[in-house]
Amino acid sequence: MSETKPLVEVQDLKKHFPVSRGLIFQRNVGLVRAVDGVSFSIQRGETLGMVGESGCGKTTVGRTMLGLYPATSGKVTIDGDDILHLKGNDQLRVRRKAQIIFQDPYASLNPRWTVNSIISEPMRVHKLFATEKERTERAKELMQRVGLNPRLLNRFPHEFSGGQRQRIGIARALASDPLFVVCDEPISALDVSIQAQVVNLLEELQDQLGLTYLFIAHDLSMVRHICDRVAVLYLGVMVELADRDELYEKPLHPYTKALLSAVPIPDPRKDRARKRTILTGDVPSPLNPPSGCRFHTRCPIAMEVCKKDVPEWREAAQGHFVACHAV
């Protein structure tokens, strides 16, 4: 696997949002370092999970690497093309290969468009078919593929349930025949019984179409289920990255350990018998991230060195990367 060239490569990606004060004379008073130097790669057909608490920058990574937010710095290569630095038609050509599924199936679909126009839109943008009729045919095919009745083609989003809307969002993402899809918390807004349906659909589509996923989520149990490798983010930086079972069975970073121990197990005896590491306090503000290791303010094993020096990102075991002084 490691011999082949990865489909997606992200190098030192940064996204800083300026914070401004004042109504007329706006001045910048600080920077929110939402993503502060993140690097990773994803192989063809692989699913990389990205987890962390809210505010850790996982959604910003997904959006910035597709160019939905202009990146502050860094490089993103998808299938050999530098997606962030291309212009015009070249950019359009690359964007066709990378799509996104959003978290909120209510806010991410235009309520005044029919399902047909929502799903056909990427085909129109990328000029994929000559006629509207062909696009409609393709939209029907896509509906079938994601488990929607093609006869509902001319309905509006409000006529569908949350799970069905998420299927519309998936069909739209597939409309441009992408190689890579960012799934940004695609199931968080859905009920438990519907979550499994959507996750199974994403897996089936991956098998059939050979898709590559970046799966962003805060549900660590679901991430263990669907992902091949998992990256843990804290305050805009990556703290650990490893194969799925390695990360869940042998976590190295104290943050990963605390995160995993906080997830409840649906088994009363097992859950009660567990030893929990309960983190104190909240994630610090990304306006003013702590010095040294960003986790030192909440870390149960923080040492003097953690306050001063940024820990080095290194390979602690085969394919298992971590940034911690104590490891």
Partner 1 sequence: MTQQPLLEVNDLRTRFHTPEGIIHAVNGISFQVSEGETVAIVGESGCGKSVSMMSLLKLIPQPPGEIYSGKAFYRGENILSKSEQEMEDVRGKEIAMIFQDPMTSLNPVLSIGHQLTEALREHLGMTLEQAESRAVELLDQVGIPDAARRLHDYPHQFSGGMRQRVMIAMALSCTPSLLIADEPTTALDVTIQAQIVELVTRLRESLHMAIIWITHDLGVVAGMADRVIVMYAGFIVEEAQVEELYDAPAHPYTLALLAALPRIDRRRDQRLKSIPGAPPNLLLAPRGCPFAPRCEFALDKCRQENPILTGIAANHQAACWVDVKTGGLR
Residues near partner 1 (CB under 8 A) are 53-54, 161, 163-164, 191-197, 199-200, 203, 218, 220-222, 224-226, 244-245, 248, 258-272, 274, 276, 278-280, 282
As measured in angstroms, the least distance from the Cβ of 106 to partner 1 is 13
Choice between 74 and 251, CB closer to partner 1: 251
Nearest of 121, 117, 116 to residue 99 by alpha carbon: 121
User: Alpha-carbon torsion 221, 168, 204, 215, what sign?
Assistant: negative
As measured in angstroms, the least distance from the Cβ of 234 to partner 1 is 11
Choice between 191 and 315, CB closer to partner 1: 191
As measured in angstroms, the least distance from the Cβ of 34 to partner 1 is 16
Choice between 70 and 266, CB closer to partner 1: 266
Choice between 73 and 288, CB closer to partner 1: 288
Structure letter (DSSP) for residue 58: H
**Which element (helix H / strand E) includes 4?**
none
As measured in angstroms, the least distance from the Cβ of 202 to partner 1 is 11
Choice between 79 and 203, CB closer to partner 1: 203
Chain Cα centroid distance, residue 180? 12
As measured in angstroms, the least distance from the Cβ of 6 to partner 1 is 23
User: Which tokens belong to 169?
Assistant: 């969002």
Cα separation, 279 vs 96, in Å, equals 42
As measured in angstroms, the least distance from the Cβ of 19 to partner 1 is 16
Nearest of 70, 67, 72 to residue 93 by alpha carbon: 67
Choice between 245 and 315, CB closer to partner 1: 245
Choice between 65 and 279, CB closer to partner 1: 279
DSSP string, 264-302: --S-HHHHHHPPP-PPPS-PPPTTSPPSSSTTTTT-TT-
One-letter amino acid at 106 equals: Y
As measured in angstroms, the least distance from the Cβ of 291 to partner 1 is 21
User: Which tokens belong to 59?
Assistant: 């959604």
Q: What is the CA radius of gyration of the chain?
A: 21
User: Which tokens belong to 306?
Assistant: 């953690």
One-letter amino acid at 142 equals: L
Indicate left, alpha or beta for 217 from its phi (over 0: left) and psi (-120 to 50: alpha): beta
